[in-house]
Amino acid sequence: MTQASRVKKLTDSVSHIEVSPPRLQWMGHSRQWGTRVKKGEHGLRLGDLNVGIYGEIPQHWEDQSRRPRGAADLPGMPPLPYHLRSKHQLWADSAADLYEEAIQHRWIPATDIPWSELSPLPDDVERAMCQVLTELMQAANAELESITYWQEQMSYGYHEVKQFLAVAALTCARHIDAFRKRCLANGGGLGLESRGRMNRAILESRGGWTEAVVYIYLLRGFHVQNQYRLLLAHAHNAAEREIFANCLADHSRHMSYALDHLKYAITQQASQAAIIQTLLSLGESTLARDIQEPVQRSALAIVFGGGVEGGRQEGMATWRAMVRQSIHDYLDACEWLGIKRNMIQRRLNALLPPDEQLVPTERG
């Protein structure tokens, strides 16, 4: 029997069965139909879709399901542990644009970095560079783990932020990847594990995503940003230059989200500024102890000074200037956010030149 005759025999055998026409009732379930968003000059971007009900971003999102914002709800869906359901806990107006920027600013460490441009460095410089990158890998890893911990708890009502942070986590993974490759591609290897007090503070922060943002970005972010700036300026070859230029742009994008979010949170929540002040008072001495850690400090000085010898004077002077700049950037950001720090923790204050020191608090 051929295949065709087999099918005919089967069809004939069920021809007496009456099949009801499909009801397709689900087709009537849309909260807003007929939407036609047009692409703009720069394509059809995530933020462009916020039209009609799809652009209604509530202050609080009661729904604990995975229902996309604007979709019709299905009664009886069991709740999921989305604990961050208020806009002030995560929102930044720039999130949709930053998401678009992040997915377009893509670079592949395996192929976009001109690895063949690496050349042997003096042993002390290679060891110092690998040590610096080992610690930066740990910082990027703490950022990644903190983002993913909180991102999965964020309500689907704020998908712009969830999507931006998903890419931010990928970006952190990319940095870890690039640093590891740089360490293992030029005759060196990984260095010593960091004590990572700030990493621990970030990972153990459980008060909410805003608290994590305060630690990762407002408090430590400028120190990381300035390390990238200086490593870019002291790059030994085109490969390092490309790595640090990309990391600087990526990290600055994360900082943009963070500052925008903190500004929003402070504007929306009367007590938020005071809470951030408290968090900073707790965190500043931890950051200062990390900055003063002799391993990373000397490794950075050797890179900036071009060797152990140059690291003693020139390298340490550059390191001190970098730390000064980081603290000033941090204080400027606090002021911009409206949480001016009139007093800072003693350890952090001591890292500023004497004539620039603020009134230190007793603790720290």
Q: Which residues bind other proteins (CB under 8 A)?
A: 41-42, 97, 100-101, 104-107, 112-113, 225, 229-230, 232-235, 241-242, 245-246, 248-249, 252-253, 255-256, 259-260, 263, 325, 332-333, 336
Of residues 113 and 201, the one with the C-beta less far from other proteins: 113
What type of residue is 292? Q
CB of 253 to other proteins, least distance (A): 5
CB of 333 to other proteins, least distance (A): 5
Of residues 201 and 213, the one with the C-beta less far from other proteins: 213
CB of 90 to other proteins, least distance (A): 17
Of residues 130 and 230, the one with the C-beta less far from other proteins: 230
Of residues 189 and 338, the one with the C-beta less far from other proteins: 338
Of residues 84 and 239, the one with the C-beta less far from other proteins: 239
Surface-to-core class of residue 344, CB atoms within 10 Å of its CB (0-12 exposed, 13-18 middle, 19+ buried): buried
Of residues 201 and 337, the one with the C-beta less far from other proteins: 337
Largest CA distance in the chain: 98
CB of 293 to other proteins, least distance (A): 22
- Do residues 260 and 92 lie in contact, with contact meaning Cβ atoms separated by under 8 Å? yes
Of residues 145 and 260, the one with the C-beta less far from other proteins: 260
Of residues 105 and 200, the one with the C-beta less far from other proteins: 105
- Do residues 285 and 347 lie in contact, with contact meaning Cβ atoms separated by under 8 Å? yes
Alpha carbon separation from 138 to 132, 134, 171, 197, 300 (Å, rounded): 10, 7, 14, 11, 16
Please give the radius of gyration of the chain, using alpha carbons only, rounded to the nearest integer: 26
CB of 74 to other proteins, least distance (A): 38
Q: Which of 202, 228, 223 is nearest to 328 (CA)?
A: 223
248 Cβ neighbours under 8 A, 6+ residues apart: 225, 228, 229, 232
- Return the sign of the alpha-carbon dihedral for residues 234, 240, 246, 248: negative
CB of 249 to other proteins, least distance (A): 6
Compute the distance between CA of residue 214 and CA of residue 196 in angstroms, rounded to an integer.
17
CB of 206 to other proteins, least distance (A): 28
Compute the distance between CA of residue 105 and CA of residue 98 in angstroms, rounded to an integer.
10
- Do residues 320 and 326 lie in contact, with contact meaning Cβ atoms separated by under 8 Å? no
Compute the distance between CA of residue 47 and CA of residue 97 in angstroms, rounded to an integer.
7
User: In which residue are the tokens 């600013």 written?
Assistant: 105
CB of 316 to other proteins, least distance (A): 16
What type of residue is 257? Y
